[in-house]
Amino acid sequence: MPRPKRIFIPGAIYHVYARVGRGEPVFAESSEAEAFVDIVRATKKRDGFIVFAWALLSNHYHIALRTGRVPMWRSMASIQGRSSKGFNRRHGVLGPLWQGRYRAKLVEDDSYLQQLVAYIHLNPVKAGLVEDPADYRWSGHGELLKRRQSPLLDADETLSIYGETHRVARRIYVRTLRGAGDKEWLGESPGKLPWWRGPRERDDRIEPSHEGPFVDYLGRSTEPVPPAVTAESYLHAACEALDVQLAELAGRGKSSDIAQLRGLITLLGVERFRQKISRLAEILRKHPGSLSYAAKRFAELRVDDPAARRLFDQVAADLQNRFGE
């Protein structure tokens, strides 16, 4: 039976969780933990999601994040794929690192979001690794208290859910953590947490408080998935929107402008229109690796260059109107 597709809801907050296969303590080794966090940090910069809380334990991770314009599935697939490949390369092994796909749950209630942040940052305490969450290196708690450099967590975003000033918000946050110590949900597995189990009791669906699609308890939209666009149709429409000839993209020219457009079209196709790089590469007579590299370069450019970001959004809107959503 095919797995249900993950549908992206822009600006939504999710509790994301994944476990290492067979529960092996891969991240008990500091170098592996650091490599994983570096990958998450780089992906966050590239894709623009916001991190409210995070914790990496020996065999699993938790992240509370708000999605940006890049679909969450792409960010998480990149994180888990890169970490798996890196681990296998360093240790000379084969096979998947993770116990299947990540799990994700939409979190809409403000009180649940505060509980989620506490749950994640108290995970190392509940696991018996430390008595004070500030003593645990691989979590966002110390970052929230301004004790870490190069933080993964977006402290201002997290504190904004507790109070209007940093001082007040930190005081309420610490009080929330202390008060969570005796909550029955603190030691539960994700599937039994209040923000995970609630929708399951209502036919696996919840009514969003904001305008948008219904979602099930895994954070997947229950609305119909837009029809797939063929690679040929997608490329022709993208070329028309960018006023470039398909033959130019498929040519041997190494112009930086053409290379940038190849990257934009590839990235947009993968992120928004369910295109496969292998098929785009076949039509453009390019190696899949070169298109993948071009997409990566444009993703990095989009982070730092407002003009590139505007162009990407403009073409995305044009094609979405053309193909329908």
Q: Which CATH number does the domain housing residue 263 bear?
A: 1.10.1750.10
Helix residue spans in 65-165 (DSSP H)? 72-91, 110-121, 123-126, 141-144, 155-159
Beta-carbon contacts of 316 under 8 Å, excluding residues fewer than 6 positions away, are 268, 272
Whether residue 89 lies inside any domain: the answer is yes
CA distance linking residue 20 with residue 18, whole number of Å: 7
Residue 291: what pLDDT? Answer: 92
Residue indicated by tokens 């992240």: 63
Burial of 188 (0-12, 13-18, 19+ CB in 10 A): middle
Same domain, 71 and 179: yes
Distances (CA, A) of 63 to 37, 66, 183: 11, 10, 20
Q: Is the pLDDT of residue 117 over 80?
A: yes
Same domain, 196 and 283: no
Structure tokens at 136: 């645990």
Beta-strand runs (E) in the chain: 13-19, 50-56, 60-66, 103-106
Residue 46: what pLDDT? Answer: 87
Phi and psi (nearest 5°) for 14? -130, 150
Structure tokens at 193: 């947490």
Greater model confidence, 187 or 279: 279
Burial of 55 (0-12, 13-18, 19+ CB in 10 A): buried
The arithmetic mean of pLDDT across residues 317-323, rounded, is 88
Residue 254: what pLDDT? Answer: 75
Q: What is the pTM of this model?
A: 0.74
Greater model confidence, 70 or 103: 103
Q: Do 98 and 19 contact (CB within 8 A), yes or no?
A: yes
Q: Is the pLDDT of residue 137 over 90?
A: yes
Whether residue 219 lies inside any domain: the answer is no
CA angle 90, 93, 95 (to 5 degrees): 120
Q: Is the pLDDT of residue 2 over 90?
A: no
Which of 35-49, 61-75, 178-192 is predicted least confidently? 178-192
Q: Is the pLDDT of residue 258 over 80?
A: yes
User: 270: domain range?
Assistant: 231-323
Domain count, the chain: 2
Same domain, 118 and 186: yes
Same domain, 294 and 184: no
- Across the chain, what does the average pLDDT equal? 85
Whether residue 223 lies inside any domain: the answer is no
The arithmetic mean of pLDDT across residues 94-111, rounded, is 88
Q: Is the pLDDT of residue 73 over 90?
A: no
CA angle 75, 21, 56 (to 5 degrees): 55
